[in-house]
Amino acid sequence: MTKPPPRFPLALERVAAPRVATAPAARPAPAAPTGHGLDSAGVRARMVARLRADGVRHPAVLAAFGEIPRHLFVDSALVAQAYEDTSLPIGHGQTISKPSVVARMLELLFAGANASERASLGRTLEIGTGCGYQAALLCLLSRNVVSLERLRPLHDKARDLLAPVRRDNLRLVYGDGRLGHAPNAPYDTIVAAAGGEEIPPAWLEQLAIGGRLVAPLQDAVGTGQALIVVDRTEREFIRTLHESVRFVPLKSGVSDPRQT
């Protein structure tokens, strides 16, 4: 049984200034590949160049984006937009996040103590597998990845889409993301692709000392979301607010249409 986290205060620090965006004119022209051109490493290289122009600097993050083919995780009707910096629907009210947002969250994870010490994200818990794209990236950046999805059709879809690029260090779990996954805890890094009004207690319980959590969190007035980083020390959880984002809401329970 997972021990409850110690009862100590949550320190809150607000970041004074977000990253400065690069002028659009400095970005490479977007690619518009078709057919087998999507399989070209050059297409992914142009996406990586845009991410670098937007301020992404971690070499492992950029290398992962250059290796994983995003078009494999996008519905066929939208495949021409696969390498644009945009979120796209993947069915069941969910989306695949913008590459720039995914890269930003992964870079924030790498700034945590456990990740910095190992030059790896270590043991990672992903909340919200979705189509599996971020899970594929995490496999290149982490020692082990546990990815949770509460929607059975998406869990099954991700399993199929990940097959061509899946590695042995990934475990896909169909379950309630709010509960985390205690059997493989503690985790050095936790990343969530859905946001609620608070960080679920289970996520904090399952975060290792020295670990870092990155997730969207609803603001106090309920009109938007911002990225929140939670660092666990031996004495406290330190929360840091970052830029505004837009993710799907975090929900409880599981959903399997086949059982209704």
Which positions are catalytic? 97
Residue keyed to tokens 């399997």: 256
User: In the structure encoding, which two tokens stand for residue 211, read together?
Assistant: 């670990």
Pairing relation of β-strands 123-127 and 144-149? parallel
* Tokens standing for residue 41: 């490493």
Find the radius of gyration of the CA atoms of the chain.
18
Please state the separation of Cα 163 from the chain's center in Å.
19
Please check whether residue 128 is in contact with residue 90, taking contact to mean a CB–CB distance below 8 angstroms: no
